[in-house]
């Protein structure tokens, strides 16, 4: 299922003082075939590779399954607060990774007791969601989205479905209706701030998202409802309104891109792999198996930035200095030959690292909720449009040029038009 040809990684200029032999992670040829890059990197550098991020900023890419478990399991040694970074002097104000790395006072960058307090509130607020109710709501959202294109006999599913559905589900979980002009504005602004297209202004969009979530928090303080926002506000940990705003944005943003790509990568697998033979309804393997296989082999969050070393230490035979940045190579970890010695990657269990591991892993109920959203999205689409097929050859599908997220640029399909 993965390509076998193996390009040589592009290395940094000889003599790069910070990271001799380091590999530049940016580069389209790798981005299209990340499995090859990880294999080549592992072969050359072992479980922990010196890499260069955009602008040739040095970091470590952790590729080994057990090394990833060690890093994520020792937050006393590899912590989440990016202000520890020893490279801040080299980072320009317009650095493209700044939105992911720049410190914000949210759960994402909190550590120790403060993190347990913030993550505990999110966990309990998400636990209050009824999974059957969520599935029902996702089905309604799916039906509305499908109705918009069902009559035409064709669709581009990435924008019309895979991205649109989890965003609306997340907004609704937080206590806003999933339709209406106000919600649509928030959905558009979230899309721009997470994934700006040319001509978009992500900074302005992010500011509008902040303002709308602030308003939502104010509304829910005055009139609580059965939603995640109200449960966060009512939690005995007593988060301030600003803390709830920060963490709600983190929840919505964390839910959107990975779940969208999980849906899209699963649809791609179902529509292109003969084991799932399309028409999918005649396939031998189930949607659940396809969802799980994607988490092992085409996981949405390929690499996650990151952790920062609290003090000088060693990892995978590398000398790590205090303040060094470690990128979690979750996709590489899932296919680590140390755990799959006979080179077959099985997808039978859930021991993958796609939701990360340890204190900062995707908080416990979130993977289950994401599963409900993704499964409902895929199953509803296949039920409503049973003769759905790709409208291009599988080789013509292209991956987005990102080493961080694995998702398609577009998923064009066709089917017999459905008269409403």
The phi and psi torsions of 175 (rounded to 5 degrees) equal 105, 15
Q: Is 233 in the site for ligand HEM (CB under 6 A)?
A: no
9, 58, 258, 407: residue in contact with ligand HEM (rule CB under 6 A): 258
Q: Which stretch binds ligand HEM (CB under 6 A): 46-54, 178-186, 258-266, 311-319?
A: 258-266
Cα distance from N-terminal residue to C-terminal residue, the chain: 38
Q: Which stretch binds ligand HEM (CB under 6 A): 149-157, 190-198, 208-216, 357-365?
A: 357-365
388: which DSSP letter? -
Q: Is 290 in the site for ligand HEM (CB under 6 A)?
A: no
CB of 101 to ligand HEM, least distance (A): 12
Write the DSSP assignment of 294-349 as a string of letters. HHHHS-SB--EEEEEESSSEEETTEEEPTT-EEEE-HHHHHT-TTT-TTS----SS
Q: Is 377 in the site for ligand HEM (CB under 6 A)?
A: no
Q: Which is nearer to ligand HEM, 71 or 385 (CB)?
A: 71
CB 189 within 8 A of CB 213: no
60, 65, 149, 304: residue in contact with ligand HEM (rule CB under 6 A): 304
Q: Is 119 in the site for ligand HEM (CB under 6 A)?
A: yes
Contact string 70-109 vs ligand HEM (x = CB under 6 A):
--x----------------------------------xx-
CB 329 within 8 A of CB 63: yes
254, 263, 278, 385: residue in contact with ligand HEM (rule CB under 6 A): 254
CB of 71 to ligand HEM, least distance (A): 9
Q: Is 301 in the site for ligand HEM (CB under 6 A)?
A: yes
Q: How many CA atoms lie within 13 A of 389 on its CB side?
A: 10
Q: Which two tokens stand for residue 140?
A: 């309604």
- The number of residues that bind ligand HEM (CB under 6 A) is 29
Contact string 28-67 vs ligand HEM (x = CB under 6 A):
----------------------------------------
Q: Is 291 in the site for ligand HEM (CB under 6 A)?
A: no
What's the Cα-to-Cα distance from 306 to each of 59, 319, 350, 364, rounded to whole Å? 10, 18, 22, 19
Q: Is 302 in the site for ligand HEM (CB under 6 A)?
A: no
Q: Is 287 in the site for ligand HEM (CB under 6 A)?
A: no
363: which DSSP letter? P
Can you state the angle between helices 112-127 and 365-384, rounded to 10 degrees? 40
Q: Which stretch binds ligand HEM (CB under 6 A): 31-39, 254-262, 284-292, 386-394?
A: 254-262
Q: Is 380 in the site for ligand HEM (CB under 6 A)?
A: no
- Distance from C-alpha of 385 to C-alpha of 415, rounded to nearest angstrom: 7
Cβ neighbors of 335 (< 8 A, separation 6 or more) are 35, 38, 296, 297, 345
193, 354, 376, 380: residue in contact with ligand HEM (rule CB under 6 A): 354
Give strand pairing partners of 61.
49, 327
Q: Is 355 in the site for ligand HEM (CB under 6 A)?
A: yes
Q: Is 265 in the site for ligand HEM (CB under 6 A)?
A: no
CB 413 within 8 A of CB 155: yes
- Distance from C-alpha of 299 to C-alpha of 407, rounded to nearest angstrom: 9
Tell me the three state secondary structure of residue 21. Answer: coil
Q: Which stretch binds ligand HEM (CB under 6 A): 11-19, 145-153, 246-254, 335-343?
A: 246-254
CB of 250 to ligand HEM, least distance (A): 5
- How far, rounded to the nearest angstrom, does the alpha carbon of residue 2 sit from its chain's CA centroid? 20
Instruction: Go through 18-55 and write b for each residue having 16 or more CB atoms within 10 A of its CB, e for each that does not.
Output: bbeebbbbbeeebbebbbbbbbbbbeebebbbbbbbee
The phi and psi torsions of 375 (rounded to 5 degrees) equal -65, -45
Site for ligand HEM in 122-161 (CB under 6 A): 122
Give residue for tokens 């080549």.
40
Q: Which is nearer to ligand HEM, 257 or 278 (CB)?
A: 257
Q: Is 190 in the site for ligand HEM (CB under 6 A)?
A: no
Contacts with ligand HEM by CB under 6 A lie at 72, 107-108, 119, 122, 250-251, 254-255, 258-259, 262, 295, 299-301, 304, 330, 354-356, 360-363, 366, 369-370, 373
């Amino acid at each position: 299922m993965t390509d076998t040809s193996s390009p040589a990684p592009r290395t940094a200029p000889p003599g790069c003082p910070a990271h001799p032999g380091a590999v530049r992670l940016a580069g389209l040829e790798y981005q299209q075939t990340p499995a090859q890059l990880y294999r080549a990197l592992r072969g050359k550098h072992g479980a922990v590779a010196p890499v260069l991020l955009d602008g040739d900023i040095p970091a470590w890419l952790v590729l080994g399954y057990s090394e990833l478990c060690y890093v994520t399991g020792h937050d006393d040694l590899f912590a989440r607060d990016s202000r520890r970074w020893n490279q801040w002097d080299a980072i320009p104000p317009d650095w493209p990774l700044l939105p992911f790395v720049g410190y914000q006072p949210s759960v994402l960058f909190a550590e120790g007791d403060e993190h347990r307090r913030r993550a505990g509130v999110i966990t309990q607020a998400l636990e209050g969601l009824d999974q059957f109710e969520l599935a029902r709501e996702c089905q309604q959202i799916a039906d509305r989205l499908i109705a918009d294109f069902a009559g035409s006999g064709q669709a581009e599913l990435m924008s019309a479905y895979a991205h649109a559905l989890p965003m609306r589900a997340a907004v609704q979980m937080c206590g806003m209706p999933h339709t209406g002009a106000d919600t649509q504005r928030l959905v558009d602004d979230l899309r721009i701030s997470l994934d700006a297209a040319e001509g978009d202004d992500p900074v302005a969009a992010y500011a509008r998202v902040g303002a709308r979530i602030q308003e939502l928090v104010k509304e829910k303080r005055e009139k609580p409802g059965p939603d995640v926002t109200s449960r966060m506000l009512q939690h005995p940990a007593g988060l301030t309104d600003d803390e709830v705003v920060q963490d709600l944005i983190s929840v919505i943003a964390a839910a959107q891109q990975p779940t969208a790509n999980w849906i899209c990568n699963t649809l791609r697998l179902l529509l292109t792999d003969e084991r799932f033979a399309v028409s999918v309804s005649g396939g031998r393997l189930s949607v659940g198996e396809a969802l799980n296989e994607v988490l092992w082999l085409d996981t949405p969050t390929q690499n996650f930035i990151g952790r920062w070393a609290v003090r000088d230490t060693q990892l995978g035979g590398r000398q790590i200095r205090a303040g060094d940045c470690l990128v979690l190579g979750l996709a590489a970890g899932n296919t680590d030959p140390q755990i799959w010695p006979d080179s077959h990657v099985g997808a039978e269990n859930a021991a993958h690292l796609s939701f990360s591991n340890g204190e900062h892993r995707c908080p416990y109920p979130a993977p289950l909720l994401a599963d409900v959203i993704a499964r409902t999205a895929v199953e509803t689409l296949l039920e409503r449009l049973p003769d759905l097929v790709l409208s291009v050859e599988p080789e013509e599908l292209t991956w987005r040029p990102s080493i961080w997220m694995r998702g398609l640029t577009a998923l064009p399909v066709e089917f017999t038009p459905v008269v409403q």
